[in-house]
Amino acid sequence: MAAPGFDRDVPDGVETPADFPTKVSDIVREVWEQAGRVQQPEEYLPLILPRLAGAVGADFCALAVAEEGRWEAIGQTGLPRSLPVELLGTALDQEQPQSDGCQWNVIPLAARETPSAALAVHFGQAPPGWAMVFLMHVGPAFYDAWKRVCRVHQNVQRVHRLQTLLEIAARWNQTQELETLLVQIAEAATRLMECDRASIFLWDRATHSLVGRPALGMPGGELRIPDDRGVVGQVLRTGQSLRADAQHHPEWIDRQVDSTTGYRTRSVLAAPLRSRTGEVFGVFEVLNKRQGRFTAEDEAGLEELAAQAAVALENVRDRQQLISAHRRLAEAAREGTELLGQSPAIQAIRASIQRIADTDLPVLILGENGSGKEVVARAIHFHSRRRDKPFIAVNCAAIPDTLAESELFGHEKGAFTDAHQSRPGKFELAAEGALFLDEIGDLSLSIQAKLLRVLEEKVIVRVGGSRPISTAARVIAATNQDLAEMVRRRQFREDLFYRLNVVSLVLPPLRDRPGDIMLLAEHFLREFCRRARRPAPRFSAEARARLESHSWPGNVRELRNLMERLAYLGPSDVIEGSDLSFILAPNPRDALAVETNLPLAEATARFQAAYIRRSIQRAGGNITQAAEQLGLHRSNLYRKMRQLGMADQPNLES
């Protein structure tokens, strides 16, 4: 009865020892037992090869592997010897054991596999006749057991590599800076691939170069090479992973880079980086395997790592592009919110904006309709650290009382009849940015109470919900109403008024800063003419006088709308006073007119107040100069202003 491990009959004429079947069985059993004990292929071969050599009396035994026509002993025992390359090639070609008739026996183990493998055994003297038969019986079992050890090791390594990749990918996806991510990827690759260095080469199409980072020892940590050079260049062209070392394609190693960096490359492995659409946008390269050279298993591992790295790199690049675009938009928005004007009042407001922009204080902006309250609110936001966060504007006068709470604080699904799904409110949308509440005086008292609680506690609760939601939004409120008077009439909550009125800015109407009228008019006209793709016309002296003398009841908004109309419908070269007659009041002195149904004393007082105010404006706020123009002494002018109820006139320069 044949012993376990026999897969061939003993040839006729070959004498075997009496215990031959037992020896074969014992070796085969040991081969498989050891395969179940060890975890590393490097541990297995030193245990089995000496047993095979000892069983047949050989002084050298090796597992020889051939890849791309080159033979290498990956495991050996006994005196060091050179492999019988020709005999190994013949054994593989004929798929039959070979002997040189003297000292070498070669048993083919994997003739048609990649890599090919054979068992090479050397004897110090002529081997016994049964030695070849013994090796033919034991060799295949040994090779199968060794492959099993390799597969188990590969599977363990793959599981470990995938677990590590998951951990690495999780960290990578939390990284927002490209340079930091590149360093993390390189560090992970050197650890997983057990190599000295790693670099990510990103393709710069415009300059036909590959930019490698991080690059140790290079200025700025960056290495730039032509995109057709070396292994990375070939990987970029072919889209296929490549390996190179002293034995396999040494010509692919770019020695010019070595001379530049002062680093000696012994082995290199590179894999392509592919975008979501499959396009190659870079190369992942690792250098100098610490033990041996890079294997097919390493190649598969680097490809998996490259796939994760490509996703992380694209995510960071997309995120940075979005951030960059958002910053550009924020900067453009900031430029668009510049408060134009040279009047003392506007200069004071600009200075106040600079002081309060980076605080978290609530701001109350007061002024007539069209005076630019939202422009000031945006200027505060875009000059602050919150400029990259949302700016949400809400017109409180346009929200029905029944929907105000849902609009501001959000609602849960089913909270009321039309609440078909949950929706965040304006406070949530503003997040860490700014919430501009325009016409806040139109909010109902019940909503005012809830708004006060949010301002105090920084927490909102959606309509129909119970979960508190933190909010860090800065509140900027505005109104054209007299909130202090509304508080006295109990139409506005006093506690909310004082909470909002921590910082207040009062915007002067346009009629109170006539020196800014032409500056604003020319700015708006240029902007609208640019949009209309036409050159901006100039104003005649008559048109300038007409604009400066108009009372502008609609303030800056009225002026802006007028310039928009002129940009599209006005003359192409010069705007004359007659071009404004169909828009502005025909009599520029109407600004000083008073109602005709008033008692004479009251009408006289109103006219005098308006006339004094106009004189002060024309004097640029200089009280002394205005008094001289009116034929009064400065102290008499102040006394007259108090008599006319102009005590709230802002302090102006003397």
Question: What are the distances in angstroms from CA 417 to CA 413, 420, 422, 444?
Answer: 10, 8, 12, 22
- Secondary structure (3-state) at 122: strand
298 φ/ψ angles, rounded to the nearest 5 degrees: -60, -40
Cβ contacts of 579 within 8 Å, gap of 6 or more: 543, 566, 570, 571
**379 and 499 part of one domain:** yes
283 and 229 within one domain: yes
pLDDT digits 0-9 by tens, 115-131: 889 999 999 888 888 88
Residue 329 domain-assigned (yes or no): no
Residues 135-191: tens digit of each pLDDT: 998 999 999 999 999 888 878 877 877 777 777 777 776 666 777 777 888 888 888
Nearest alpha-carbon partner for 646 in 504, 626, 492, 502: 626
CA end-to-end span of the chain: 126
Q: What are phi and psi of 77, to 5 degrees?
A: -140, 150
Count of structural domains, the chain? 5
Question: Other C-beta atoms within 10 Å of 31: how many?
Answer: 23
Residue pair 288/267 in contact (Cβ under 8 Å)? The answer is yes
CATH code for the domain in which residue 387 is found: 3.40.50.300
Query: Residue 577: its pLDDT value, please?
Result: 84
Note the pLDDT of residue 120: 92
| Inter-residue contact 619 to 626 (CB < 8 Å) | yes
Evaluate whether residue 571 is within a structural domain.
yes
Can you state the percent helix, strand and coil of the chain, rounding each to 5? 50, 15, 30
Contacts made by residues 248-252, CB under 8 angstroms, sequence distance 24+: 248/67, 248/68, 248/70, 248/293
Neighbours of 51 (CB within 10 A): 17
Whole-number Å distance between alpha carbons of 387 and 583: 38
Q: Is residue 164 part of a domain?
A: no
Between CA 266 and CA 263 the distance in angstroms is 10
Sign of CA dihedral 18, 24, 25, 26: positive
Structure tokens, 155 = 């599977």
Q: Is 357 exposed, middle or buried (0-12, 13-18, 19+ CB in 10 A)?
A: middle
The confidence score (pLDDT) of residue 114 equals 76
Q: Are residues 495 and 528 in the same domain?
A: no
CA distance 627 to 187: 78
**Residues 56 and 112 grouped into a single domain:** yes
Q: Can you read off the two tokens belonging to residue 503? A: 């910082």
> Could you give the CA distance from residue 248 to residue 266 in angstroms, rounded to a whole number?
11
Question: Are 390 and 495 within 8 A, CB to CB?
Answer: no
Q: Same domain for 136 and 117?
A: yes
In a domain, 385, yes or no: yes
d(CA 128, CA 361): 99
Residue 416 phi, psi dihedral angles, 5° rounding: -150, 180
Q: 321, 347, 377 — which closes off a domain?
A: 321
CA 532 to chain centre: 36
Host domain of residue 261: 173-321
284: tokens are 């992942």
Are 423 and 281 found together in one domain?
no
330 inside domain: no
CA distances from 323 to 58, 134, 177, 431 (A): 71, 71, 11, 17
Burial tier of 539 (Cβ tally within 10 Å: 0-12, 13-18, 19+): buried
What are the φ/ψ torsions at residue 226 (nearest 5 degrees)? -60, 145
Residues 243 and 368 in one domain: no
What pLDDT score was predicted for residue 592?
Answer: 57
CATH number at residue 617: 1.10.10
Within this chain, do residues 123 and 24 fall inside the same structural domain, yes or no? yes
585 and 598 in one domain?
no
Q: What is the pLDDT of residue 41?
A: 83
Both 269 and 302 in one domain: the answer is yes
**Residue 10 maps to a domain:** no
In this structure, is residue 278 part of a structural domain? yes
Closest CA to 55 of 131, 116, 119: 131
- Does residue 466 share a domain with residue 429? yes
DSSP state of 514: G
Q: Which residues contact 265 (CB under 8 A, 6 or more apart)?
A: 253, 254, 255, 257, 258, 287, 288
pLDDT of 505? 93
pLDDT for 9 equals: 57
Low-confidence ranges of the chain (pLDDT < 50): 1-8, 217, 585-591, 648, 650-654
Residue 373 located in a structural domain:
yes
What are the DSSP calls for 294-336, one per residue?
--HHHHHHHHHHHHHHHHHHHHHHHHHHHHHHHHHHHHHHHHH
How far apart CA 283 and CA 211 sit, in angstroms, is 10
Amino acid at 637: L
Considering the domain architecture, whether residues 139 and 188 belong to the same structural domain is answered as no
H helix runs in 357-388, sequence order: 373-382
- What phi, psi does 289 have (nearest 5°)? -60, 135
Which CATH number does the domain housing residue 185 bear?
3.30.450.40
